[in-house]
Amino acid sequence: MGLDQNLNSFKDKLSGYDCQLIAVSKTYPADTVLEAYGAGQKVFGENKVQELVEKYDVLPKDIEWHLIGHLQTNKVKYIAPFVHLIHSVDSFKLLQEINKQGLKNQRVISCLLQIHICSEETKFGLTFDEAEEILKSESIKDFKNIKIIGFMGMATNTEDLTIIRKEFRSLKEFLTKCKSLYHTSNVDLHELSMGMSGDFEIALEEGSTMVRVGSAIFGKRDYQK
Ligand SMILES: *Cc1c(COP(=O)(O)O)cnc(C)c1O
């Protein structure tokens, strides 16, 4: 199957859900992104700043770029001029820097707080408590150049679907709770970024509004990044 058939058959799986496809193009060349763009896909996710910037530079400017991987504070400046959504905010310090760079670029940068919902220790993310600390902090009201619009989470890499479902459900419940507790000019929680190639079906059933899917569309990666 060609890339456009892959894309279309994947989009069929999203029909009936209020959910957007973030096509994860990490490790695939810019040409592949361009091919998907030609097939109508305008939203792409990358997990590394350098690769994101390299692709942004050479590809059509109406692509919406999402940063989905861990972000170091010293690299925010490279993506601040154009990034559409940062899925992986995992500290107050990072939020502060995104706000600073947003101001410099005269933009409001949309962000998701990444929440640690899986049982593996290696993955980044805030605990529910840490996320609430950020949402209720007084100083966040002064961050006029960011907008927190929801949460991102990654489930445990396991065959046990009940574990995955439980983790996604806990994030949805956390969103529902926080939505009613925290609402200001720059906190408006409604997006839930969850689900990848291996677990997007469960994520959809549990209320995902953005699935981040790479290999199910582009095919297996040659190497892991
Ligand atoms: C690579 C990656 C994905 C997509 O993974 P696939 O298994 O290729 O769908 C989703 N989210 C994050 C954070 C990633 O790094």
Closest C-alpha residue for ligand 1 atom 10: 212
- The per-residue pLDDT for 123 is 67
Q: Is the pLDDT of residue 224 over 60?
A: no
Average pLDDT over residues 127-140: 96
pLDDT of residue 88: 98
Range 46-73 average pLDDT: 98
91-128 in b/e form (b: 16+ CB < 10 A) is: bbebbbbbbbbbbeeeeebbbbbbbbbbeeeebebbeb
User: For position 193, what pLDDT does the model report?
Assistant: 98
Residues 213 and 195: beta-carbon distance below 8 Å: yes
Residue indicated by tokens 């990358």: 46
92 CA from centroid of ligand 1 (Å): 24
Mean predicted confidence (pLDDT) in 194-213? 98
Cβ of residue 196 lying under 6 Å from some atom of ligand 1: yes
Q: What is the pLDDT of residue 124?
A: 85
pLDDT in tens, 28-42: 999 999 999 999 999
Write the residue with the smallest CA distance to atom 6 of ligand 1. Answer: 214
Task: Say which residues have a Cβ less than 8 Å from residue 192's Cβ, sequence separation at least 6.
Answer: 150, 151, 152, 153, 171, 172, 175, 207, 208, 209, 210
Ligand 1 center from residue 102 Cα (angstroms): 26
Angle of helix 128-136 relative to helix 161-181, nearest 10 degrees? 20
Q: So what's the pLDDT on residue 223?
A: 60
Residue 225 pLDDT level (bands cut at 50, 70, 90): very low
Question: Which residue among 44, 47, 211 is best mutated to probe the pocket of ligand 1, counting the most ligand atoms within 8 A of its Cβ?
Answer: 47
Percent of the chain with pLDDT over 90: 93
Tens digit of pLDDT for each residue in 104-132? 999 999 999 999 998 887 768 999 999 99
Q: How far apart are CA 179 and CA 182, in angstroms?
A: 6
Dihedral sign for Cα 139, 143, 144, 150, please.
negative
Calculate how far, in angstroms, residue 57's C-alpha sits from the geometric centre of ligand 1: 22
pLDDT at position 69? 97
